[in-house]
Amino acid sequence: MASILFVLNGPNLNALGKREPGIYGGQTLADIEALCRAEGEKLGFAVDFRQSNHEGDLVDWIHEAGDVAAGVAINAGAYTHTSIALHDAIRAVKTPVVELHLSNVHAREDFRH
């Protein structure tokens, strides 16, 4: 498989830096993208870094990753807790997909668990 990693970001992550900094910190999404690119380069991967507020975009990108990427890291934001479509998309591809979050969702409201 190609040496591309997709890093996918869901809704409201474009507002990092000004969005609830007490929870998500002061870094912008551009800062995080730069970190991902630098780390990817060290490991020999090109990083394809994307953000969308729209669930269908994330579904389409997971399908695309299934064809071209070695792996996916996804912070699906609030869709993590609600989206059966994303769950099914991840199950539909063979490419490994890792879910991640900036905050500890298990230490927050029940609906984020």
Site for ligand DQA in 51-80 (CB under 6 A): 75, 77-78, 80
Q: Provide, rounded to whole angstroms, the least separation between the CB of residue 37 and ligand DQA.
A: 19
| Residue 40 contacts ligand DQA per CB under 6 A | no
SS3 for 30?
helix
Tracing tokens 């668990």 back to the chain, one arrives at 113
The answer to whether the Cα torsion of 15, 92, 81, 24 is positive or negative is negative
* Lateral strand order in the sheet of 71-75: 46-51, 4-9, 71-75, 97-99
Q: Is 101 a catalytic residue?
A: yes
Q: Provide, rounded to whole angstroms, the least separation between the CB of residue 108 and ligand DQA.
A: 7
SS3 for 45?
coil
| Residue 37 contacts ligand DQA per CB under 6 A | no
CA–CA gap between residue 91 and residue 68 (Å, rounded): 16
| Residue 36 contacts ligand DQA per CB under 6 A | no
Q: Which of 63, 87, 101, 113 is catalytic?
A: 101
| Residue 35 contacts ligand DQA per CB under 6 A | no
Q: Is 79 a catalytic residue?
A: no
Q: Applying CB under 6 A, what is the total number of residues that bind ligand DQA? A: 10
CA–CA gap between residue 107 and residue 113 (Å, rounded): 8
The residues that touch ligand DQA, with contacts defined as CB under 6 A, are: 12, 75, 77-78, 80, 101-103, 105, 112
> Which residues form the catalytic set?
24, 101
